A and B are shown apart, each in its own frame.
Chain A
Amino acid sequence: MLETVLFFALALLAVTAAIGMIVHRSPVYSVLMLIITLFSIAGFYVLLNAPFVAAVHMIVYAGAIIVLFLFVVMLLDLRHESDRFTLTKFSRVLAFIAFLVFLGEAILLVKVAFIDGGLDIGLGGQVSQLGDTPSIGKLLFTAYLLPFEIASVLLLVAIIGAVILAKQNLKPSQ
Chain B
Amino acid sequence: MPIEYYLIVAAILFSIGVLGVLTRRNAIIVFLCIELMLNAVNLTLVAFSNHVQNLDGQVFVFFVMIVAAAEVAVGLALIVAIFRQKETVYVDEINLMKW
Whether A and B touch directly in their complex, counting CB atoms under 8 A apart, is answered as yes
Residues of A within 8 A of B (CB): 3-4, 7, 11, 14-15, 18-19, 21-22, 27, 30-31, 34, 37-38, 41, 44-45, 47-50, 52-53, 56-57, 60-61, 64-65, 68-69, 72-73, 75-76, 78, 81, 83-88, 91-92, 94-96, 98-99, 102-103, 105-106, 109-110, 112-114, 118-119, 121-127, 129, 131, 135-136, 139-140, 143-144, 147, 151, 154-155, 157-159, 161-162, 165-166, 168, 170-173
Report the bound CA distance from A45 to B83 in whole Å: 37
Contact in complex: B32, A81 (CB < 8 Å): no
Shortest CB distance A91–B (Å): 7
Shortest CB distance B42–A (Å): 7
Report the bound CA distance from A84 to B48 in whole Å: 36
Also in contact, A34 and B35, with CB within 8 A (given A15-B9, A147-B63, A166-B80): yes
Contact in complex: A161, B18 (CB < 8 Å): no
Report the bound CA distance from A119 to B85 in whole Å: 52
Contact in complex: B36, A21 (CB < 8 Å): yes
Among candidates B1, B25, B28, B58, residue contacting A50 with C-beta atoms closer than 8 Å: B58
Among candidates A53, A86, A122, residue contacting B52 with C-beta atoms closer than 8 Å: A122
Report the bound CA distance from A15 to B76 in whole Å: 25
Report the bound CA distance from A159 to B59 in whole Å: 23
- Chain A residues contacting B8 (CB-CB under 8 Å) are 106, 109-110, 113
Also in contact, A98 and B19, with CB within 8 A (given A69-B72, A154-B70, A173-B86): yes
